Chains A and B, each alone.
Chain A
Amino acid sequence: MNEIVIKTNQLARSYQTYRKETGLFATMKGLFTKTTEIKHALLPIDLEITRGQIVGLVGSNGAGKTTLLKLLSGLIFPTSGTATVLGYTPWERPNAFLKQISLLLGQKNQLWWDIPARDSFQLLISIYDLDKSATLKRIDELAARLDCQHVLKMPLRRLSLGERMKMELIGCLLHSPKVLFLDEPTIGLDVMAQTNIRQFILEELKGTDVTIILTSHYMDDIALLADRLLLMSHGAIAYDGTVDHFMSLTASTKRLVTDFTMPLTDELIISPNIKIPMGALSFDHSLSSAELFDALRIITSQTIPIRDLKIEEPDFEDVIRIFLEKESSLHKARNII
């Protein structure tokens, strides 16, 4: 069923920021006058997300993804435009809305630092007015799934980052939210912990009625979990579609990795934009089919012996990077014009 649970109409947000010149004089001057400037964190966007979708929100720092997340979760007010989440205007934050959403911030603790997670959960049971025995049972189930029963009674401050994140995840799911906002849920975790969290989300939440908006700098999170990819650049949506379709857009690009046995004695010009400087010991670049053909011809015909040469299909992370680089250069060009 394609019921729309999140809908935005020309939703935008700008911030006023201060600019301060360096130096003591400027500091003294700043006591009396301030130079302000408006930063457009999110340009007007229209968006519809249906029930049960997992949407991966990707973009470089400052692209506007977290601003969009904050707006949809109701943390901040927009400068213009409207949005509804589960039929509510998020920034009005009525309790009926808050009881149906959850926000997990990978970089912030939301449970109480000084008390054991189980005590925090008891508090959440009261705050969300949940059935106590059923919720305690659910805590045990979730803890068993995440293999962290042994830390439930330890103060949060004593836990490792990975254990804390598991506790945060349980805390987020206690009230069975219909919309879940996950902001960098695996940031800073080791590979094992990342995999555990990812696998848990995949098994516990994917394919259910829970709608998830997920931001992450780890592209594995997005590639594995997201049904839909929203790529943001400079406050706007640069791509909206499936991960597979996105990969097919740049399928003609391949990555060429070459190691030389000694530094190059001359600069090699692959194309006007791609050059291997004199003295280079290696070359690693994503290239189009035409560029790849030229690169192979030029690299193999020069005099320095080649130690290793690989042609790789680009992974998701590379494709995103290439896409964002292109977007960024287009954005700069537009600004210059």
Chain B
Amino acid sequence: MSYVSFLKRNLACIRLGISSRTTYPIDFLMAIAVIPICYFLVEAVFWSGLIKASGNDLLAGFPARYYLGYYLYIILQLGSINWRFERVMIAEINSGAVNALLLRPSSFFEYHLGQLLGQKLITALVMVPVVSFIAWAWDLPFHAQRLPIVFLMGICYVILLFSLHFAVASMAFFFDNVYSLNNSKNMIIWILTGELMPLDLLPSPIREWVIALPFSCGIYIPAAYLSGRIDTNAFMKGFISLAVGGVVFGLLARFVWKQGLHRYSGTGA
């Protein structure tokens, strides 16, 4: 196998992700600016209200600005880890649009992963200055020097999460409709990543278990690290769970995809 060819076509997929993400500028701006900022404002109102109602200045040892910081960095993550891709993959398998991709010298996995990474790249480039500005303007805790390593974790997490999405999307080869299964998976991830609430608010020992899972590297660990909730040692442990999870989900994705292809009837052709 030529690694140059591999690199070329994956870079092409990344370019495709960037160009398809930016083809519709208004949609792009809504997705990377308006929706995340609205999301942040909703969370800001909720957590400020919650802390005020509790009658204390602190919640679980942290002041309100730490929660605002946490949710500010979540929007940085969410902008790139969107849930659109597995729906696209499911639709492509259901409609037979996958046929064209199956007959090109590029795998379905790398084709979509490349695009997802391309979208993450362009989204992160645009959103980092926006998030930095809000953090500065609101005086939120922000460790800017940690951004590069957080970004690296984001890429590793995208690959892991994509493998899981890919495995679930490949179930479309077996069942006519897997959207409910997909939604169930997303609900579980929503809780396990820490998007619903910072994972350190969970009771022990559930907290330790959930943080040890690789999903916490999607939101909780990077957001907590950037806002100063956790230290470097706790952050680096996330890479270990990411590596283990990546192998497990990667093998799962490969298995389901291979089995699915044997059952595939070439829909739509």
Q: Which residues of A come within 8 Å of B, CB atoms?
A: 15, 66-67, 69-70, 73-77, 93, 95, 98-99, 101-103, 105, 107-110, 112, 114-115, 119, 122-124, 126-129, 155, 183
Contacts and interface: CB of A to CB of B under 8 A. Distances in A.
B133 interface: no
Contacts of B264: 75-77
B268 A75 contact: no
Given A108-B96, A126-B8, 6 more contacts: A98-B104, A99-B105, A107-B268, A114-B20, A115-B20, A183-B269
B124 to A, nearest CB: 21
A183 B19 CA distance: 30
Contacts of A124: 104
Interface in B253-268: 261-262, 264-266, 268
B102 A75 contact: yes
Contact of A108 (B5, B9, B100): B100
Contacts of B19: 115, 119
A235 to B, nearest CB: 14
B266 A108 contact: no
Nearest to A184: B269
Given A66-B269, A115-B19, A183-B269, A123 B12 contact: yes
5 contacts: A102-B103, A108-B97, A115-B16, A126-B12, A127-B9
A119 B262 CA distance: 33
A70 B266 CA distance: 7
Interface residues of B, number: 31
Interface of B: 1-2, 4-5, 8-9, 11-13, 15-16, 19-20, 23-24, 96-97, 99-100, 102-106, 261-262, 264-266, 268-269
Contacts of B16: 112, 115, 123
B104 A112 contact: no
B20 A73 contact: no
B172 to A, nearest CB: 15
Contacts of B1: 95
A183 B262 CA distance: 22
B24 to A, nearest CB: 8
Most buried by A among B4, B16, B261, B268: B16
A73 B20 CA distance: 29
Contact of B269 (A105, A112, A115): A105
A102 B104 CA distance: 8
A171 B12 CA distance: 16
B266 A75 contact: yes
Contacts of A77: 261-262, 264
A95 B8 CA distance: 15
Contacts of A119: 19
A109 B24 CA distance: 20
A308 to B, nearest CB: 44
A190 to B, nearest CB: 23
A98 B265 contact: no
Contacts of B262: 77
A233 B131 CA distance: 64
Contact of B104 (A66, A107, A109, A127): A127
Nearest to A74: B103
A332 B103 CA distance: 37
Best-buried of B15, B99, B269 by chain A (most CB within 10 Å): B269
Contacts of A75: 99, 102-103, 264, 266, 269
Contacts of B9: 126-127, 129
A105 B105 contact: no
Contacts of B97: 108-109
Given A77-B261, A95-B105, A114-B20, A126 B268 contact: no
Nearest to A119: B19
Contacts of A66: 266, 269
Nearest to A41: B265
A125 to B, nearest CB: 8
A127 B12 CA distance: 7
A44 to B, nearest CB: 18
Contacts of B102: 74-75, 93
Contacts of A115: 16, 19-20, 23
A67 B9 CA distance: 30
A95 B2 CA distance: 11
A67 B267 CA distance: 10
A114 B27 CA distance: 13
Nearest to B100: A110
A103 B24 CA distance: 30
Contacts of A105: 99-100, 268-269
Contacts of B268: 105, 107-108
B265 A15 contact: yes
A183 B23 CA distance: 31
A129 B2 contact: yes
